[in-house]
Amino acid sequence: MKITLLDAKTLGDDLDLSSLEALGELTIYATTTVDETQERIAESEIIITNKVVITAELMENSPKLKLICIAATGMNNVDLKAAEEKGIVVKNVAGYSTQSVVQHTFAMALYLLEKMAYHDEVVKSGTWSDSGIFTDISHPFYEIAGKKWGIIGLGTIGREVAKVATAFGAKVSYYSTSGTNLEQEYPHQSLTVLLGECDIISIHCPLNQQTQNLINKGNLKYIKDEAILLNLGRGGIINEADLAVELDSRVLYAGVDVISKEPIVRENPLMNVQNREQLLITPHIAWASKEARVKLLEGIVANIKGVTKETNG
């Protein structure tokens, strides 16, 4: 089988791809542009893509193509209808990054809650050395215990975040973006009430018509001063321009791992926030622990083996 991996760089240079090489004739590309895609997949039977878009036209001009493996959970980069019409199987990998995203959620929350940016700098700059006192409590931090933690999107990841937050001693509530996931062990609140009552708010929902621009200037104002807002869902759920204005107008903290356009453009309003200690941005890494990426690769291999086994009989 001719297998083509289109964007290996998104899996990381530290993964052992020998399990893929054992399945067929593997061609690896670090990245693939729109203009390069057709030529690279024209003779392929199996392609692996994380973010490279596979359109109906590309499939039409790749007559040997039997399987598209998506190296992610989301499938919006493949024309699924066209694939079905052409008898091309499309497989994603689900559940591989849950623990990684949960861990990153709390890493971001604790970084902001404990004012780590300030405390790291006050030591490294020598300010603490010159202070004459054994501690620095000028920037007080708080405990998660007893705080209200609101979760927007109580799916698989959201439920795991709820468990950990509860273990820390937080009081968890949630908002269902679909309006259907209402029978849970945690109290459901309207979005406005959740934003207004919670000390820490984390977003774990998908980007769709219901969640596009969900958090904006119309409701950011309800979030209490010194609260923490975290986006571990998708860029576009928070209006970034509105958030930037809010961060510079009062003491509010935000951590975002996802951006509306990735990588972030220098013109993004969040890049120009003046109150920089109130904002933490990470480069879409919540999903990407070493363990999660190993699980992802294992899922891709399993998908290829499963489909080829069915095809062969």
Q: Which residues are catalytic?
A: 234, 262, 284
The CA-based dihedral angle spanning residues 44, 48, 52, 56, taken in that order and rounded to the nearest 10 degrees: 50
Q: Would the CA dihedral through 126, 129, 135, 138 be positive or negative?
A: negative
Helix (H, G, I), strand (E, B) or coil at 302: helix
Instruction: Give the pairing of strands 228-231 and 200-203.
Output: parallel
Q: For tokens 């209808």, what's the residue? A: 81
Q: For the chain, what is the largest distance between any 2 Cα atoms, rounded to a whole number of angstroms?
A: 77
Buried b (16+ CB within 10 A) or exposed e, 167-188: ebebbbbbbbbeeebeebebeb
Whether the CB-CB separation of 129 and 182 falls below 8 Å is answered with no
Task: Give CA–CA dist 97/287, Å, rounded.
Answer: 5
* Cβ density class 255-280: b for 16+ within 10 Å, e for less: bbbbbbeeebeeebebeebeeeebbb
What contacts 301, CB < 8 A, 6 or more positions away? 19, 20, 23
Number of Cβ within 10 Å of residue 311's Cβ equals 12
Check the CA dihedral 38-40-44-49 and report its sign: negative
